[in-house]
Amino acid sequence: MSDVSLTVNGKRVSGSVEDRTLLVHFLREHLGLTGTHVGCDTSQCGACVVHVDGRAVKSCSMLAAQASGSTIVTIEGLANGAELHPVQAAFKEHHGLQCGFCTPGMIMAATDMIARHPQGLDEATVRAELDGNICRCTGYHNIVKAILSASQTMSKGAKGRAKQAA
Amino acid sequence: MYSVNYHRAASVADAAKLLKNGDAKLLSGGMTLIPAMKTRLAAPSDLVDVSRLKELQGVKVSGKTVTIGAATTHYDVSADEKLKKACPALAHMASLIGDPAVRYKGTIGGSIANNDPAADYPAALLALGATIITNKREIAADKFFKGLFETALKEGEIVTAVSFTAPAKAAYEKFRNPASRYAIVGVFVAKGKDGVRAAVTGAGEDGVFRSKEVEAALAKSFDASALNGLKVPAKGLMSDIHASADYRANLIAVMAKRAAAAANA
């Protein structure tokens, strides 16, 4: 057994789990955070993407014990109370989801993608960067639109903040 | 996944000690090992996690010498500004592995120790004439990659870093399997102080190998046009549902040509 202690969505959590427990199962079954999904279970679909120490990784391909000591953000931790995160808002606005199963992973991957491209994104980059996220409804057009739109909103926001700081 | 005992190593020396437990395996990014354990293709008794060891992290560039810690992730290799100047081909190659989430976890040491016949790093290190540094010795890439998933590593030996001299010119091109995105053929060409080297991944029945034909043609002139009409023998190449040996042989010439063009661009 492993004693696992993490910060998840800003809260300190701990638990004792079998060493073979995957991070996604720890999140879903021990913490009840079922927003993170298990899609393919073979590390291809990306429905399980969460942020571990600021990086978007597949929580089905990592042990909870490996993550111990890390800071984790799941889909449940993105919104600020009732106010949606800009990426969530853009997915809603652009209908970036159909059945919704891949959405948590898409949004967690998208927020990481946008953070890595503060200069902005183009469609080809978004499509290439979505390599590790599969939408079984094949609703990629609107997902790409939503990410491009969120990227614009967020870079405007960042510029606004920079101006205020200056 | 079968039951397993997880250990987080405090140092390379500690990892070497922990590896003596039962049928222990090193765990780095886990992008191959954890999925293999989930499908029970691998069932180590113990996992020794070295991914957080500071001594195994980071890219160092000193003059022309590049050293990359074994636990450096593909993302960190692809984004390293010093490496992008010293050997942009390797940084670019790292940006083509797997997908973004996989690149955040997978490591160079894990990739070469696993030596998957379709992995990208083995081709790069073989073409760069790299040295693989372990906790016990230094091994030339030419002697390190032994066959399918086989390396010169001995029981309990741990890859700690890789090192190479930055080449004057280099590039990597791969033809991906459209579904898995693994290389059906990947060719890394490099023109360095010891001449031209070209290594091929994804195609060989015994894993990564150097292509004599590509090297001989590029040694005459390190230019894509030197590869016009190049014939690569299909002997020793894989045939599977994705591509026949003949098809792969042709792809080697095509990818080598694209790589030579990119190296000169």
The pLDDT tens digits along chain B (265 residues) read 999 999 999 999 999 999 999 999 999 999 999 999 999 999 999 999 999 999 999 999 999 999 999 999 999 999 999 999 999 999 999 999 999 999 999 999 999 999 999 999 999 999 999 999 999 999 999 999 999 999 999 999 999 999 999 999 999 999 999 888 899 999 999 999 889 999 999 999 999 999 999 999 999 999 999 999 999 999 999 999 999 999 999 999 999 999 999 999 9
CATH number, domain with residue B158: 3.30.465.10
Residues B177 and B124 in one domain: no
Does residue B212 share a domain with residue B157? no
Confidence of residue A6 (pLDDT cuts 50, 70, 90): very high
Task: Answer with the one of A24, A56, A77 that is the final residue of a domain.
Answer: A77
Residue A160 predicted with pLDDT over 70:
no
Same domain, B32 and B67: no
- The pLDDT-based confidence of A158 (bands split at 50, 70, 90) is low
Q: What is the pLDDT of residues B2-49, one digit of tens each?
A: 999 999 999 999 999 999 999 999 999 999 999 999 999 999 999 999
Contacts of A58 in chain B (CB under 8 A): 101-102, 105
Residues B203 and B242 in one domain: yes
* Residue A156 confidence (pLDDT) above 90: no
A166 belongs to a structural domain: no
Are residues B156 and B176 part of one domain?
no
- A-interface mutation test, from B21, B105, B176, B177, most A Cβ less than 10 A away: B105
List of chain A residues whose C-beta atoms are within 8 Å of the C-beta of residue B38: 22, 41-42
Q: Where a domain ends, among B144, B165, B186?
A: B165
Q: Residue B21 sits in which domain range?
A: 5-49
Rounded to 5 degrees, φ, ψ at B202 are: 85, -15
pLDDT in tens, A46-105: 999 999 999 999 999 999 999 999 999 999 999 999 999 999 999 999 999 999 999 999
Q: Which residues of B touch A (CB under 8 A)?
A: 1-6, 8, 27, 30-31, 34-35, 37-39, 47, 49, 51, 75, 98-102, 104-105, 181
Same domain flag for A7 and A57: yes
Q: What is the pLDDT of residue A159?
A: 61
> What average pLDDT does this structure show over A3-24?
97
One domain for residues A35 and A69: yes
| Count of domains for chain B | 3
Residues of chain B with C-beta less than 8 angstroms from the C-beta of A40:
none
Q: What is the pLDDT of residue A33?
A: 98
Nearest CB neighbour to B101, from listed A2, A56, A66: A56
Cross-chain residue pair A58–B5, CB shorter than 8 Å? no
**Inter-chain contact A132–B27, Cβ cutoff 8 Å?**
no
Boundary (domain end) residue, out of A57, A77, A97: A77
Rounded Cα distance, B111 and B71, in Å: 10
Contacts for B212 with CB less than 8 Å, ≥ 6 apart:
none
Q: Please indicate, yes or no, whether residues A107 and A125 belong to a single structural domain of this protein.
A: yes
Structural domains counted in chain A: 2
Does residue A51 share a domain with residue A6? yes
Q: What is the CATH number of the domain that holds B252?
A: 3.30.390.50
Contact list in B for residue A112 (CB cut-off 8 A) is 100
Q: How far is CA A149 from CA A85, A153, A156, in A?
A: 13, 6, 11
Q: What residues of B are in contact with residue A49 (Cβ under 8 Å)?
A: 101
The pLDDT value recorded for residue A109 is 98
Nearest chain B residue to A131, by CA: B99
Residue of A nearest to B8 (CA): A66
The verdict on B85 and B34 lying in the same domain is no
Distance (Å) from the alpha carbon of A156 to chain B's nearest alpha carbon: 25
Which residue in B104, B174, B181, B182 has the most chain A C-beta atoms within 10 A of its own C-beta, making it the best mutation to test that interface? B104
- Chain A residues whose C-beta is within 8 A of a chain B C-beta are 2, 18-20, 22, 41-43, 46, 49, 55-58, 61-63, 65-66, 68, 109, 112-113, 129, 131-133
The one-letter amino acid at B205 = E
Cα distances (Å, whole numbers) of residue B62 to A92, B29, B38, B159? 49, 26, 41, 21
Among candidate residues A60, A77, A94, the one where a domain is terminated: A77
Same domain, B199 and B138: no
Structural domain that includes position A106: 86-161
pLDDT in the model for residue A161: 56
B64 and B143 assigned to the same domain = yes
A101 and A34 together in one domain = no
**pTM metric for this prediction:** 0.95
User: Are residues A99 and A68 part of one domain?
Assistant: no
**pLDDT band (50, 70, 90) for residue A155:** confident
The CATH number given to whatever domain includes residue A67 is 3.10.20.30
Identity of the residue in A63, A65, A132 whose CB atom sits nearest the CB atom of B100: A132
pLDDT for the residue B179: 84
The answer to whether position A38 is within a domain reads: yes
Residues in chain A: 166
Please tell me whether residues B142 and B190 are part of one structural domain. Answer: no
pLDDT given at position A20: 98
Q: How far is B38 from chain A (nearest CA, A)?
A: 8
Same domain, B129 and B174: no
**What is the predicted pLDDT for the residue at B178?**
87
Q: Please state, rounded to an integer, the average pLDDT across all residues of chain A.
A: 94
Domain assignment present for residue A111? The answer is yes
CATH of the domain at B44: 3.30.43.10
What is the structure's pLDDT at B144?
A: 98
B141 shares its domain with B38:
no
Instruction: Judge if A21 and A63 occupy the same domain.
Output: yes
Contact yes or no for B104 and A65 at CB 8 A: no
